[in-house]
A and B are shown apart, each in its own frame.
Chain A
Amino acid sequence: MNMDQELRDALQRKQAPPDLADRVLARINNGEAAPASNRGPGSSGVFRWLAAAAVLAIAVGGAETYYTQQQAAETARVKEELRVALQITNDTLARVQSKISQPADARGR
């Protein structure tokens, strides 16, 4: 059997059993849950809690990292602005000092 044939068989439309609808409705009316054959006994709740804890840990860690990075960027920005401000202050005061220490004649006025 080649692959085309296998695919065709696998995807072939199959008729549902005639009593499927009745069985489903009966189970719904009886309040039965779907069989948990693929889950370990009691694993559902633990898994959910673990998943929630993992998501929470990732979220908190991410937020903390983001906050730390923002804080570092803000510190760097303020530090640079302060450096520029003090540099201009220094330059301006030096300019004022040179002006007041010059004799009036030397100023070319």
Chain B
Amino acid sequence: MKGTVRATFAIALFTLLIPVAASAQDGKLNLSFLDRLAERAKEKQEVTLDESMLKSVAPSLVRPGPKAEAAKQVLSGLKGVYVRNYEFDNDKAYSMDDIAAIRKQLSAPGWVKIVSNEEKGKGPNDWELQEVYFFKQADGKSGGIFILNAEPGELSVVNIVGTFDLSSLGALGGILGIPGGIAAGLVN
């Protein structure tokens, strides 16, 4: 009897863990932890574009041009674009603890930290954190990127999911009229 209960419990636990593992495998992070920060923000920009949204408009998004093919390739590889950008009235609006839940997800297998800069000053609100992570899929290809810029009174979080590289993402930016390449300095 005990064995049956244990087996049932193990199966239930395994079933519960499958979605967690699956979500960790595609480079998509759960950004809902930032919702409470959004409520406190003086200014906010939030973008949530999932794969179906991107695919439905992809054919009409790219107009003919020198970078059109590259932009089409990037779009076909994108599975999601999630951006949160908040500005707060005061420097004490949020702390490192508020973004800890997001950063904890980056300890999952596949995430590789490529840039990290953490500064702590004398005061409790005198801190900064910049991080860039890549998600490496099982086949070795990039499956996503996570960019964080956290400063007192300002927070930017970017999670782009899919198979792409930053230089090709710049082609898409060019098509959409963004001056300068995406991460030109980091790529070149």
A interface residues (Cβ-Cβ under 8 A, vs B): 71-72, 74-75, 78-79, 81-97, 99-101, 107, 109
Contacts and interface: CB of A to CB of B under 8 A. Distances in A.
Contacts of A97: 183, 185-186
A96 B178 contact: no
Contact of A83 (B56, B60, B176, B185): B176
A84 to B, nearest CB: 6
A95 B158 CA distance: 13
A87 B130 contact: no
A15 B34 CA distance: 83
Contact of A93 (B121, B147, B177): B147
A86 B169 contact: yes
B81 A93 contact: no
A90 B182 contact: yes
Contact of B83 (A75, A89, A107): A89
Contacts of B169: 86, 89
B180 interface: yes
B15 interface: no
